[in-house]
Amino acid sequence: MLGLEGAPPVHALTTKKTCDPSGMTFATGGAGVLYSTSHEVPALAKQVDTFRKMVKDGTITEKQPSHSVALVAFSGNDYAGTGVIGLSSPNDINAYIGKVTKEIAANVDQLLKLGVTKVLVNNLHPIGCTPSHTRTNNYTTCDIFENLGASIHNDNLKQVMTSKKNVYIVDVYTAFTNIVDHAAGKGSELSKQFKHKLSPCCESLDSDGYCGQQGESSAELLYTVCDNSNRFFYWDDMHPTHAGWEAVMKQLEKPLREFVNQA
């Protein structure tokens, strides 16, 4: 959509004091919005601070942010494995989710202050529909409590972003739901291309294992891979296939283009 052949390079893998003309990726796998001692990865504020330092030292010129789009991508790592959503008391859930969304908003403010004129923030996908949560019922239905938690996050995010100009919430929740968790007979045309909406193409043989896991010898594969990934929405326990993401982006492209191109 931006006329690039691929994603901008990863900051951690580039030479210091350089920035590719296409931009920079500060995201780190496993990172969350809030700092966590259990993950030795930079949280969102640290990523934004790295960007800030590059602007301040001139590695990124003052003009570049004004012609750029920033994407603050959130996949729910702050909620994964913490037992926060679906298990805690409602008050605890709301308080924790509130901390996460306020921190996202604070970092969006930092980006705007640094001169970025357009910021995209995605809301949370229906995490109860990921195979890690649908496995317990044989990949037949989504976990309504997990999806309720995602909806609370999305409502909070909308509230803290409402007053901000030049910020657009990318509605991945609806785009996913249209494919994987719609009422009978109400699915979008895009959903019909997926025979398997709630089960993974790459599945671990062990319920506690993961896609790509090997045994003691590299020849022993502890997972199976489907024959046609294009018929599956999800690749593994958490992530969509390429076909899945394409179906999501087909729904998002028009509003995204309108936001990016507006004066």
**Residue-wise pLDDT tens digits, 110-128:** 999 999 999 999 999 999 9
Tokens of 95: 């308080």
Q: Has residue 38 got a pLDDT over 70?
A: no
pLDDT reported for residue 210: 93
Average pLDDT over residues 6-14: 91
DSSP-derived secondary structure letter, 8: P
pLDDT reported for residue 65: 93
Residue appearing with tokens 């909620």: 79
Q: 86 pLDDT band (50/70/90 cuts)? A: low
Locate the DSSP E strands across 77-195: 118-122, 167-170
pLDDT reported for residue 214: 93
pLDDT reported for residue 91: 80
pTM of this prediction? 0.91
Provide the 10 A C-beta neighbour count for residue 3: 5
- Rounded to the nearest 5 percent, the helix, strand and coil shares of the chain are 40, 15, 45
Locate the DSSP E strands across 171-249: 196-200, 202-204, 223-225, 232-234
pLDDT reported for residue 29: 86
Q: What distance in Å separates the CA atoms of residue 85 and residue 101, rounded to the nearest whole number? A: 14
Provide the 10 A C-beta neighbour count for residue 65: 19
Q: 252 pLDDT band (50/70/90 cuts)? A: very high
Q: What distance in Å separates the CA atoms of residue 155 and residue 174, rounded to the nearest whole number? A: 13
